[in-house]
Amino acid sequence: MQDLKGKTIRGGLARLLALGTGFLLRLGSLIVLARLLDPKDFGLLGMVTAFTGVLGLFRDFGLSSAAVQRVTVTEDQMSTLFWINIFLGALLGLVVLGMAPAIAAFYHEPRLLGVTAVLASGFLFNAAGIQHSALLQRQMRFTALAMISVVSSIVGVVTGIPLPRSDRRAARSGRKPS
């Protein structure tokens, strides 16, 4: 029981620190991106996330909670849940991809087709990690989950912020951005 109490306290503190760090990273990256991007370009992502955010609520259909709360879960069951999540992630990604022309038409902005396609791929990537996160939760490895959250936020910020700068350099030199 003492070990459970210690794991819970450590996990809670790690989760709290991860949430705070994630918030500060997102806030900082939004501030930097708002300065680097033109306001019109910055708004493109917001236009698409208004639609994808709703579908994000259905990203695992509660399957990860079932895996965490069940008394025993076999390897076969975890494998089956993983592949179901992959299927659902691909399905949601295809739904978003199918919505791309409607979203672009709704906002009268053809550039939203590409933005929507990129965000649609996120559903598949997210689906690939859902059961792994559930397994870590089940094992009460909250510190590991917190570290994964922080590292993924850092990787996102470190890769996301230089991209608009390379587009600006390309625009100044007169060539198309890559």
pLDDT in tens, 150-167: 898 888 888 877 776 555
Domain ranges of the chain: 42-144
How does residue 176 score in pLDDT terms, banded at 50, 70 and 90? Answer: low
More confident residue, 39 or 83: 83
Mean pLDDT confidence for 109-136: 89
This prediction has a pTM of 0.72
Mean pLDDT score of the chain, rounded to an integer?
83
**CB-count burial class (<10 Å; 0-12, 13-18, 19+) for 41:** middle
- DSSP code per residue over 87-141: HHHHHHHHHHHHHHHHHHHHHT-TTHHHHHHHHHHHHHHHHHHHHHHHHHHHTT-
Compute the distance between CA of residue 19 and CA of residue 15 in angstroms, rounded to an integer: 6
**Is 118 or 64 the better-scoring residue by pLDDT?**
118
Q: What pLDDT score was predicted for residue 31?
A: 86
